[in-house]
């Protein structure tokens, strides 16, 4: 419980985050640059900078599929691609 709160504290509205969208079954390995729009109790909403589409992420996905640092998201994608 305390850990979830800590992750929530680290994210601010307007912050840029990076989503490693990995869908191996359809051979999709994408990196999205997102801007945090709204924070909720258990999840947050971020908007793709290019398409303006909104996505919902649970806080538990931080450092798993969504990252503060672009390099970490790229490493996640490279790691998943190497499993093909």
Give the pLDDT of residue 7.
Answer: 52
Measured from the Cβ of residue 16, the count of other Cβ atoms closer than 10 Å reads 12
Average pLDDT value for the chain: 89
Tell me: the pLDDT tens digits for 21-61?
Answer: 999 888 889 999 999 999 999 999 999 999 999 999 999 99
Pairwise CA distance, residues 34 & 24, whole Å: 21
Task: Quote the pTM value.
Answer: 0.85
Q: Assess whether pLDDT exceeds 70 at residue 5.
A: no
Contacts of residue 56, defined as CB under 8 A and 6 or more positions apart, other chains included, come to 43, 44, 45
Give the pLDDT of residue 57.
Answer: 96
């Amino acid at each position: 419980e305390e850990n979830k709160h800590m992750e929530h504290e680290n994210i601010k509205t307007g912050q840029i985050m990076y989503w490693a969208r990995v869908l191996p079954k359809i051979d999709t390995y994408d990196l999205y640059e997102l801007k945090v729009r709204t924070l909720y109790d258990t999840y947050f909403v971020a908007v793709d900078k290019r398409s303006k589409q909104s996505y919902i992420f649970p806080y538990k996905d931080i450092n798993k599929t969504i990252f503060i640092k672009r390099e970490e998201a790229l490493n996640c994608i490279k790691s998943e691609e190497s499993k093909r």
